[in-house]
Chains A and B, each alone.
Chain A
Amino acid sequence: MKMHMVQAINNCLFQEMERDESILVMGEDVGVDGGVFRVTDGLYDKFGRERVIDTPLSEAGIVGTALGMATLGLRPVAEIQFQGFVFNAYHHLVQHAARLRNRTRGKFTVPMVVRMPYSGNVNALEHHSESMESPFIHIPGLIVLCPASPYDAKGLLASALKAKDPVMFFEPKRLYRAFKEDVPEERYEIPIGKASVLREGSDLTLVSWGAMTYVSSKAVEKAEENGISVEQIDLRSLSPCDYETIHESVKKTGRCVVVHEAVKTLGFGAEISARIMEKDLLRLEAPVKRVTGWDITIPYPKTEEYFFPDEKRILEGIEETVNF
């Protein structure tokens, strides 16, 4: 069936909640309203208030409570309405969600999923356009996933709901309804920690995830028209990250461009670039290029377009690297 990402995630939640009675959904406006993006639409009618909980307005409360539920036998899917509002809950994620397994040498675990719409350029108000995956990738003990298509969204979320550890699930809201694709009705999983090679190529490796994969694909098509052969990798899983696939590709191409929406400084591109330096230095034909957001506060909607990497900037990055 053709689905956009909202439908694919919704479809997955329906199926998973039917499959496993310990799964429940909680967050601000996720019940009666079906979520501000309608991702949880219909769940309340089907599963009722005990399993689809419109919580009080408190991110710390949502994630803290979810952690307790997860530890004592449930599998909550907590929604943070916008990624920019997660930081009240960061405390619980860092202090306990990420450490409980380690502190108890595996006796206590936190199998929960925290869903967060992230990404920008959708004319939203302040704090609604953030792309702050790095602070989560930075924490040992958290799994960080970020799908770039409806198909991957469903498969990754299904895996997240069987994961043994807390999963931060970044949903690119810019892609929520951007396009539809074939999504199987039946349950399937996409393995955590495995990148997807969207296109094979020989001149340059392009690495991205989430909303930027969509934008990058357009730039890659242009590059191909200009005679540059690009190998395009969509990471899907940011932690654990499939560095092997990146290394293999860079060994072949000798060039790499990383694209992310987050600000440049300490964005995940910095880590990827460093890893390539560590392993593939002698294979490199050009420095690893990062095309990213600037090191500034994301602007208000009127001028936000200047902040986000677009097709043009990505293409320039590709050409600059190939012509180095």
Chain B
Amino acid sequence: MPVKKVFEGSVDYIQILDKNGKVDEELEPDISKDVLDKLYRHMVTARTWDKKCLALQRTGRMYTYAPLVGQEATIIGTGMAADKTDWIFPSYRESYLYHMRGIPLSQINISWMGWEKGLQIDPEYRTFPYAIPIGTQLPYATGGAYSMKMKGEKSAVISFGGDGSTSEGEFHDALNFAGVLETPNVFIISNNHYAISVPRKWQTKSETLAQKALAYGLKGIQADGNDVLAVYRLVKESARRAREENKPTVLELVTYRMGMHTTSDDPKKYRSEEEVEYWKKRDPIDRFRIYLENKGIWSEDYEKEVNEGAKQKVEDAVKEAEEFKGDPKEMFNHVLADMTKNLEEQKKEAFKK
């Protein structure tokens, strides 16, 4: 019997804006000036905020924090591309997204400052509470997407996970169920090359992470995750496919974690200066600045104004967050919808004078 090929698949790599700010005009999305301006402002604000959080942690004003620096395009590109009616399931690294969804920046600070209040987020913002256990959010995103489909809401569910998360069983459950249940999902893999110290190549023998989609019958695309135009375009297209055709997509966004994994980590233990330098030259903000200059949006004055605005916003948010004072007694109030007698007694004991 002749050998037949029973499966063949491939994964496209997409880059629209290269590291030098040169644009591929054929792929260039049509984005209004207003949106371009917002993309830039958010990227700058996110980086400013991130820097501030690090400084706060270093001076004992914030607890363990997971920096986003270097990954602005994946976060902001997605935040801008998503519709208000879509759902987003971020990981801890994308907490800036809450702000893009309309939640005050100060509230995110409150979360990183060690108060549960930070995640007391109204579901109307359609942004799921981020998860610390790796990959757990992914099957929830699949289930959430099935809810949207059953309820007839035309909403895509856009989730984030790191390269490390693709090794957890949940990642595979999420994709497999999405394929079988035909759910409106967009699974973003933020491939920032490391899971704490473990390099991407030790996470899986697969050449790309996107190709894992093919095994589950999903579409898989790899893109330059430091290219905000590519991220924006691909998320827009995938979300539309999800909403209109109930077809899930896996988007592997190739980026780099410029900072430490979290403030408890020392990246010098496991990666070289040269590698970091290589990625510095591929910065997502630098190349977008060139693009905006060519579009006549960016100027020295604009840069100044954007930076000052970002700084002010961040300072205000920190001030507001630091003024927040929660009530420790609340720790007993939300275990179950109704307070039990047992907890009432324990609460009294815990806070007796």
Given contacts A36-B264, A85-B133, A306-B331, 6 further A-B contacts (CB under 8 A): A56-B203, A56-B204, A124-B64, A128-B132, A295-B346, A302-B114
Contact check, A57 vs B167: say whether CB atoms are below 8 A apart: yes
- Bitwise, B177-201 to A at CB < 8 A (1) or not (0) is 0000000000000000001111000
Interface pick from A3-11, A26-34, A182-190, A198-206: A26-34
Q: Is B6 an interface residue (CB 8 A)?
A: no
Q: How large is the interface on A (under 10, 10 to 19, 20 to 34, 35 or more residues)?
A: 35 or more
The answer to whether B335 and A297 touch across the interface, beta carbons within 8 angstroms, is yes
Q: Which residues on A sit within 8 Å (CB–CB) of B279? A: none
Q: List 10 A-B contacts (CB under 8 A).
A: A54-B202, A57-B135, A58-B168, A88-B169, A123-B114, A294-B347, A294-B350, A301-B114, A303-B328, A303-B331
- With A32-B270, A302-B326, A303-B326 as given contacts, are A54 and B331 in contact (CB-CB < 8 Å)? no
9 shortest interchain CB distances as A-B pairs: A302-B114, A33-B197, A56-B167, A301-B114, A57-B164, A303-B328, A57-B167, A58-B167, A299-B331
A300 touches B115 (CB 8 A): yes
A118 CB–B CB distance under 8 Å? no
Query: Using Cβ atoms and an 8 Å threshold, which residues of chain A touch B31?
Result: none
Known: A296-B343, A302-B115. A61 touches B198 (CB 8 A): no
Query: Interface residues, chain B, CB within 8 Å of chain A?
Result: 63-64, 92, 113-116, 132-135, 164-165, 167-169, 195-198, 202-204, 264-265, 269-270, 326, 328, 331-332, 335, 342-343, 346-347, 350-351
- The answer to the question of A282 belonging to the interface, with a C-beta cut-off of 8 Å to chain B, is no
The answer on a CB contact under 8 Å between A299 and B63 is no
A60 at the interface (CB under 8 A from B): yes
B194 to chain A, nearest CB (A): 10
Query: Which chain A positions have C-beta within 8 A of B197?
Result: 29, 31-33, 54
Q: Are B169 and A300 in contact (CB under 8 A)?
A: no
B343 surroundings in chain A (CB, below 8 A): 294-296
Shortest distance between the CB of B288 and any CB in chain A (Å): 31
Q: A240 an interface residue at 8 Å Cβ cutoff?
A: no
In the assembled complex, the Cα of A57 lies from the Cα of B351 at a distance in Å of 40
With A36-B264, A123-B63, A123-B64 known as contacts, the answer to whether A306 contacts B168 (CB < 8 A) is: no
Q: CB-CB contacts of A43-62 with B at 8 A, as 1s and 0s?
A: 00000000000111111110
From known contacts A29-B196, A33-B269, A295-B335, infer whether A57 and B203 are also in contact, taking CB-CB under 8 Å.
Answer: yes
Shortest CB distance A58–B (Å): 5
Give the complex CA separation of A246 and B342 in angstroms: 28
CB < 8 Å neighbour of A294 from B113, B169, B332: B332
Cα-based distance from A308 to B326 in the complex (angstroms): 19
B238 to nearest A CB, angstroms?
A: 25
> Given the complex of chains A and B, what is the CA–CA distance between A66 and B277 in angstroms?
38
Q: Which of B135, B195, B202, B350 contacts A306 (CB 8 A)?
A: B350
**Is A29 in contact with B198, judged by CB distance below 8 angstroms?**
yes
Residues of B within 8 A of A31 (CB): 197
CB distance from B277 to the nearest CB of A (A): 20
Are B63 and A296 neighbours in the complex by a CB distance under 8 Å?
A: no
